[in-house]
Amino acid sequence: MNIILLGAPGAGKGTQASKIAQHYGILHISTGDIFRANIKGGTEIGKLAKSYMDAGKLVPDEVTCDIVKDRLTWADVKSGYMLDGFPRNLYQAKELDKFAKIDLCLNIDVDEALLMDRICGRRICACGESYHVSTLNGATTCAKCGKELYQRADDNPETVKTRLDTYKTQTAPLIDYYKAQGKLASVTSGEGSPDEVFEQIVKILGK
Ligand code: ADP
Ligand code: ZN
């Protein structure tokens, strides 16, 4: 099964993606992660992406679409995948329809008022785990692997504001796009704990 994870920044796409990957063995492809890996590796794509990401803007469509198109030619996608962070606007969604067959779009809906705090309080670990300062009790290392936690460069109030605006104007219209294709499934209480949200997802996806 090929799934799109849709939701505002801070909706919990990454968290749920790891849970889905673990539970169903579906491959997780995150364009944000791909860009961050490129920045870390100092590639040309990384250099280009960084300026947009730091500003909270979308990386140009052509670059992004090419990356996903290429990624979907790898052998490991054969048994199903989940796209996290792509598509992010109508152009990308239409391009995706040309080179992929999507079965379901899982939309995680979260009260907008919560998003700013969720993102600015987020602390992440290189192992992929993420936390919120409110539950860390002052801890600065990962409970899973012991590494030092850090904050993403774009998780600051100013950039988050732009990211949320970008979501509203460019990404949210995709909800109707996939509804019209009969592929939309919505998780309506994304404000719940990660486990509660995942329970809803299991109801949608089945055991
Ligand atoms: P979030 O959903 O929390 O904003 P992501 O890791 O998905 O985090 O994305 C971080 C940044 O990476 C975005 O703000 C954007 O600059 C860039 N990016 C990720 N996916 C895309 C995409 N599909 N198209 C354009 N830019 C993207
Ligand atoms: Zn860790």
pLDDT 10s digits, 11-24: 999 999 999 999 99
pLDDT of residue 139: 96
Q: Is the pLDDT of residue 190 over 90?
A: no
Share of the chain above pLDDT 70, in %: 100
Mean pLDDT over residues 114-130, rounded? 93
Is residue 152 annotated as part of the catalytic site, yes or no?
Answer: yes
Shortest-distance atom of ligand 1 to CA 7? 2
190: tokens are: 């994304």
For residue 34, the one-letter residue type is I
Mean pLDDT over residues 34-51, rounded? 97
What do you get for the CA distance between the two ends of the chain, in Å?
A: 13
CA distance 7 to 173: 11
Q: Is the pLDDT of residue 207 over 80?
A: no
pTM (whole model) above 0.75: yes
Q: Which residue out of 71, 83, 163, 167 has the highest number of ligand 1 atoms within 8 Å of its CB and is therefore the one to mutate?
A: 163
In whole numbers, what is the pLDDT of the chain averaged over residues?
A: 95
Kindly state if the Cβ of 167 falls inside 6 Å of ligand 1: no
Q: Is the pLDDT of residue 106 over 80?
A: yes
From start to end of the chain, where are the E strands? 2-6, 27-30, 81-84, 104-108, 122-124, 130-132, 184-187
Mean pLDDT over residues 133-149, rounded? 96
User: Which ligand places an atom closest to the C-alpha of 142?
Assistant: 2
